[in-house]
Amino acid sequence: MAEVVFDHVTRIYPGNDEPSVSDLSLDIKDGEFLVLVGPSGCGKSTTLRMLAGLEEVNKGRIMIGDRDVTTMQPKDRDIAMVFQNYALYPHMTVADNMGFALKIAGTPKDQIRQRVEKAAEVLDLTEYLDRKPKALSGGQRQRVAMGRAIVRQPKVFLMDEPLSNLDAKLRVQTRTQIAALQRQLNVTTLYVTHDQTEALTMGDRIAVIKLGVLQQVGAPTELYDRPENVFVAGFIGSPSMNINIHPVVNGQAKIGEDTISLPREAVDKLTPEDQGKIVVGFRPENASLASPSEPDAFSLKVANVEDLGSDGYIYGNILTDNSVAEQATVMSDQNKLTTIRVNPRDLPKVGDVVKIHIDPEKMHLFSPASELRLN
């Protein structure tokens, strides 16, 4: 086991001007499960492949433990790429399927057996060790494949979208297993995914990356509760955060004809580049229905409602001067509608105009110019 350090690492593909990964500095602590998440083309897989030794590093260095592996060949790095479509060998027992790579490496027999038994224990495969793969279920076979990586006892596990070629049922099951397994084994792990749900549910910490630039690193709750910029705010969480730009008038955000109080220290941080506006974000669960006369609330025209039994969701358009605000939404995945979670017993009707109050403690404020957090 070992700590992994990306030290000001840059990767520029031949023929490209822009780096695919730019000046990345990131520590993965010993035994930590770090999830690297971001949208398509953000550089997350490139980052993983640099650690694997598959991509050259143009600037900076990568350390595994106290070894500088920047220019080292993949096989010398003591890493394991998990789920590289391991085939199961029909004539070999489960134990041999898991341990044959050790045999190739010349590991003594008793040690192989010991490691295989340990891996089988964490994978819940002990009773199948002497069986052939065909006696196993699909899920068990998947675990045998994991076992092949585990028995090597590498310093680092690398997983690049490992669930993407599994069908939906096996995906959820395997997701839980990987997370549990990593915690049992305590092997430093870099896991790459585009799926923020995977990131939130699996990672000890999450690193969000966009266009080759690291945006924020932190525990899932940190990223959820205190996103450092607009991108992270919009990317993490499902349904995603409501994020809108509003004029600031007398220290308050003007939303249509309504105003919302803003904390003084946030407003003070605004600069002339922000042109008198502020980005206000709030999660669907951090707002509530308000009475018509209540201050610090804005009007929302209900476009759709959902009753999920335990929760109700209102989807609507913010009213500006009695007309629908056209360009208020910066980022939201609900077809640019503002989403509010409410008690399903209180759901309004489609077409109603309701007042919405945002929990001031849970409001996320950003500079429109820098997109950085203000509060």
Partner 1 sequence: MTSVNINRATASSLDPRAMKATSIKTTADPSSEQEPAALHITATSSNPRMFTLPWERPLATWPRDLLANLPRGISRHVVRFVHVGDDVYAMKEITQRVAEREYELLRKLQKLELPTVNPIAVVTGRHTREGEPLEAMLVTQHLKFSLPYRALFARNLRPDTAERLIDALAVLLVRLHLAGFYWGDVSLSNVLFLRDADAFSAFLVDAETGDLHPSLTDGQREYDIDLARTNIIGELMDLDSGNLLAGEVDEVGVGNRLVDRYHSLWSALTDVDSFDPDEMWKIERRVNRLNDLGFDVDELEMKTEEGGNRVLVRPRVVDAGYASRKLLRLTGLDVQENQARRLLNDLDAYRASTWRQGEDLEIVATDWMREVFEPTVRMIPPEYRSQIEPAQFFHEVLTHRWLMAEKAGHDVPMAEAVQSYISESLPEYRLDSEDMKTINEEADAGVVDDEMNWQGGHAQAGQGEQADRDRTDKDANGHEVEGQDAADSGVTGQTNAGGQNGAGTQTDRDRAVEEVSSQPAFEDANGGRSSLRSVYAPGSLDAAADQDDQDDAVWASS
Q: Applying CB under 8 A, which residues contact partner 1? A: 13-15, 39-41, 45, 52-56, 73-75, 84-85, 87-92, 96, 100-101, 103-104, 133-134, 137-138, 161, 164-167, 194-195
Residue 23 vs 96, nearer CB to partner 1 = 96
Residue 71 vs 271, nearer CB to partner 1 = 71
Residue 234 vs 316, nearer CB to partner 1 = 234
Shortest Å distance, C-beta 46 to partner 1: 10
Residue 1 vs 170, nearer CB to partner 1 = 170
Shortest Å distance, C-beta 106 to partner 1: 9
Residue 39 vs 263, nearer CB to partner 1 = 39
Task: Give residues with Cβ within 8 angstroms of 368, minimum separation 6.
Answer: 245, 274, 275, 277, 278, 279
